[in-house]
Structures are given as C-alpha cells and as structure tokens.
Amino acid sequence: MNYRHSFHAGNSADVVKHALLIALVRALQLKESALTLIDTHAGCGLYDLQGDEAGRTGEFTQGVLRAFADPNPLLNDYRAAVQAVNAGPEPRLYPGSPQILAQLLRPQDLLILNEKHPEDVHELRSAMRGTCAAVHERDAYEFWLAMVPPRTPRGVVVVDPPYEQTDERARITATLAAAQRKWAHGVTVIWYPLKDRAAHSRWKDKLRRLGIAKFLTVEHWLYDRDQPGIYNGAGLFIVNPPYAFTQALPPLLEALRAALAPEGHRGEIAVSWLGD
C-alpha cells in the first residue's frame, strides 16, 4: 500500500494519530526529566489542504474538518495544535507530526527529525525553520537504530512510513527487535494502515513473538464491516506507553470514534495489549 502523506494529510488516520501523540507526550511530560522526540519518517512537516495533492482525495473533509466541527472538549488539544499553524477559524494548513511535536517541546526537550525523500526533506527544513529541530536525511531504519538510546533520560521514537515498499513491515519488525535490545525501556509509536485484515493479523503474530512486555495496539476501524480493496482505517503500536496515558485513553478514543464515524457507520477504536 502506497501512503504518500501529502495525498492523505488531515484524514481520519491523522486525527487519531496526532490526538494520541499529543496525549502520549503530555503524559510523559508529567515528569520533569528531559525527553528526546525522534521522528523517523518526518515527511514535509506542513501540508496545504487546498493544494493539488490533498484536493485529489479530499480525505481531510472526513478527518480534521469533522474534528473541528465536533464540540467535544476532549479534542481541544488536537484542535489547538492544528489551529496553531492557521490564521483563520477553519484549517487550510495541516501540521505533520514534526510540527506537532515541536509545539510540545519544553526547554529541556529535544526534537530530531529524519526524512529520506529529497523533495520532502527540503520542504521539511523550510517548515521547521524557526524551531530547534535537528533534521537528518538518512535511511529511516538506520537512523532509528543510530538514535537510540537518546542522550536524555527518556525519549519517544515515532515511526510513520508510507508503506511503499513490500518489505516495510519486515524492516519495522527487525529494527524494533534491534532497538529493544539497545533501549528496552524506550517508548516507540508505530503507525500502520488497516487494509488487509489477514495480512495484518500475520504481522501482529510476528511482532508478538518479539516478546515485548508492554506492547499496546490501538486500531481505528472506520466501517462496521470490512470494505474490500480500500482503506479501512489505521492503527498505532505503542511500546512502553506510560500509565497516565493508558488510563486517559478510553474517553479520548470514544470522542475520536464519535467525531470520525462515516455516515451510516458507527466505527470502532479497539485497544488491546499484543500479548493478550
């Protein structure tokens, strides 16, 4: 599955991913010690929702625009992060994970970004101008292993690939296993699309065999039944999530499900521990 982000910016997957990423980092920041935030597939950093690529799919109308139309205060932190890069009341620009992570930085925290695509890394550097982010242009999986463990006491690695390569899941599995050997207590967030349920189940079996003790899965299914051959939703694997984050999840996930459910469908956001 090819998931070039500029075509999908601000869709339902972005809303869930970024709302949970904000909640996760804020939960980690309940402790004063410094955090290093690492994004292995940073993308462009900022996306024009009225541009040609986003306009071709229009997916943002079922994502960020739905979140902005929903009055639930549990979505306020997410809406504020999007509003921070926009001048008007309705979003025209959409912040990628790098921009959102930059907004969350405290003086003691660090942000390290990576993007291999030459055009995207040029746009990323422009989008992050004025922030203290360090930007790399390297192979994402080599970069991931090189960055852990971070120099700060704690950190988060965000892995958000486009799934353009057939071996993407295999590389994630192998790199996660190697990263765990170097940094067993580190927090890792891995985004993935949900399209083929059988293939996804096989991947989860391989990840389960890594034996990671705290491995949370959050899966957002848009439709009440699988829609063959199309995008059915997306999920996050979260390694070593903090207790404060997991305790606050149920009401936030229900708010996201209600805001994003397509017409005629209730949708579902399922949470489980991979070892269960």
CA 82 to chain centre: 14
- What letter represents residue 223's amino acid? Y
Residue 202's alpha-carbon distances to 3, 192, 206, 209, 273, in angstroms, are 20, 14, 7, 11, 16
Is residue 52 annotated as a catalytic residue, yes or no?
no
**Is residue 12 within 8 Å of 222, Cβ to Cβ?**
yes
Other CB atoms within 10 Å distance of the CB of residue 7: 18
Rounded to 5°, the CA angle 144-150-152 comes to 155
Beta-bridge mates of residue 193: 234
3-state secondary structure of 9: coil
From the list 48, 139, 160, 226, the catalytic residue is 160
Are 101 and 132 spatial neighbours (Cβ–Cβ below 8 Å)? no
Question: Do 144 and 40 contact (CB within 8 A), yes or no?
Answer: yes
DSSP string of 129-164, one letter each residue: TTS--EEE-S-HHHHHHHH-S-SSSEEEEEE-----
Integer Cα distance of 187 and 106 in angstroms: 18
Query: Annotated catalytic sites, by residue?
Result: 160
